[in-house]
Amino acid sequence: MRTNLAERLQTALNTRHASNRFRCRTIYRSIDSTHVEVNGRSLINFAGNDYLGLAHHPELRAHAAENGLPNGSGASGLVTGYSPAHASAEAAIARWKSTESAVLLPSGYQANHAAVQTFAALAGQRSESVRFLIDKLAHASLIDAVRGSGCPFRVFPHNQLTKLARLLESVDREQLQVVVTESIFSMDGDAADLAGLAAIRENHDFALLLDEAHGSGVYGDSGAGLAAAMNLSNLVDVHICTFSKAAGLVGGAVCASKAFCDGVVNFGRAYIFSTAIPPLLATQIERSIELMRREPWRQKRLMELAHRVRNHLAGAGWPLLPGDSPIIPLVVENENRALALAERLKSEGILTVAIRPPTVAPNSSRIRVTISSDHTDAQIDGLLSALGDYTAV
């Protein structure tokens, strides 16, 4: 039996190798907000998600060093892991997102699972009484959660709301429809059509779960997210935010009505059976939200740099996907070209990562360039010079 396991594993890994899709981990030592060390060499980091440079903010570092809170929470939030620090952070998150309540979880992945599990619990003994309608390019955590919910689901083509409207028309009136999407899509860098969803809701009844992992901190007043920036926060029934991107930390939260958040605590297995985040991290999350409010220049600088990079690359012939976010995918189709481009940039002191299937669709391998507000003008110049014209790829 064990021999059979080893053979199957090796066959699966060999298949990945043969298609240039094998993944392996690289050890990165963070130097500062824009540099990492790889094998003893300093590289300018254009691959991370620290959009506002807060991961190295001196105030957060000082707070972590001087705070006397314990390293761990010691238990789940329903045992002894829920501290005053957690309660205070959740209140701050709810104010930030303009929701009644919020529930902290160890990651955005778990927050998505807990939210979907809460919706699924509303089906009771009739799993078919809740149906999920999910964007094809939604994050893997959302797809996994919906697939594992036990409820029926349909996938609609990316941002094709005409197709979504047709799916909403073919429903049992007693069935709860839950539309699941992201505000900013992590691999394409484009945005959900929230205005279009608002128009559809005028004629169709559905609940909206919006994952703002890459919108939080980047859009809206104090970084409250894309829905807030578009004055459409009320369109969203459940907001998901993460603190591993713009906030520069780790963790996730479900932000919604008090009733829904009570549902997460009672039905969200990803919350119930997980150890709570450390109290120190909860206080860091609250401090990071405050920094976004106090230092709006970071958000402004980030969007200015993203706009500059996008405009330059478009002028150099790069076929950019639509959007204005700091996630800028450079699609070069096959895996070999993506790997070669990443290696060429690395040789010039620039870190990017080749994104290959199954993370993205076949024939859409890419370099995913991400911008930080801490990138200097000289670093941006170096990136653009190294990329050159698309014809040179």
Respond yes or no: is residue 163 known to be catalytic.
no
- Helix (H) / strand (E) containing 227: helix 226-229
d(CA 45, CA 351): 5
User: How far is 260 from 103, CA to CA, in rounded Å?
Assistant: 10
Hey, is 36 helix, strand or coil? strand
3-state secondary structure of 88: helix
Q: Which is catalytic among the residues 113, 139, 239, 375?
A: 139
Q: DSSP of 332-368, one letter per residue?
A: EESHHHHHHHHHHHHHTTEE--EE-TTSS-TT-EEEE
245 is known as an active-site residue: yes
Token pair of 382 as six digits? 């170096």
**Cα gap 373→191, rounded to integer Å:** 20
Considering the candidates 33, 45, 49, 83, report the single residue annotated as catalytic. Answer: 49
Active site residue 49: yes
* Short-list 163, 244, 171, CA closest to 181: 163
- Kindly name the residue from 97, 239, 245, 375 that is annotated as catalytic: 245
Q: What is the DSSP letter of 246?
A: T
Active site residue 312: no
The verdict on whether 186 is a catalytic residue reads yes
Marked catalytic residue, from 211, 237, 286, 335: 211
Q: How far is CA 43 from CA 60, 120, 231, 270, in A?
A: 24, 45, 39, 37
* Degrees to nearest 5, angle at CA 107 with 102 and 112: 65
Q: Which string of DSSP letters, residue by residue, matches 261-307? A: HHHHHHH-HHHHTSBPPPHHHHHHHHHHHHHHHH-THHHHHHHHHHH
Catalytic residue flag (residue 97): no
* Distance, CA of 1 to CA of 212 (rounded, Å): 44
Closest to 377 in 3D by CA, of 304, 278, 316, 313? 304
Q: Looking at 90, 182, 286, 374, which residue is catalytic?
A: 182
Q: Which of 73, 112, 141, 186 is catalytic?
A: 186
- Residue 261: name the closest of 144, 81, 131, 100 by CA: 100
Distance, CA of 199 to CA of 232 (rounded, Å): 11
CB atoms within 10 A of CB 169: 9
Residue 182 among the catalytic residues: yes
| Single-letter amino acid code for the residue at 172 | D
Which of the residues are catalytic? 49, 139, 182, 186, 211, 214, 245
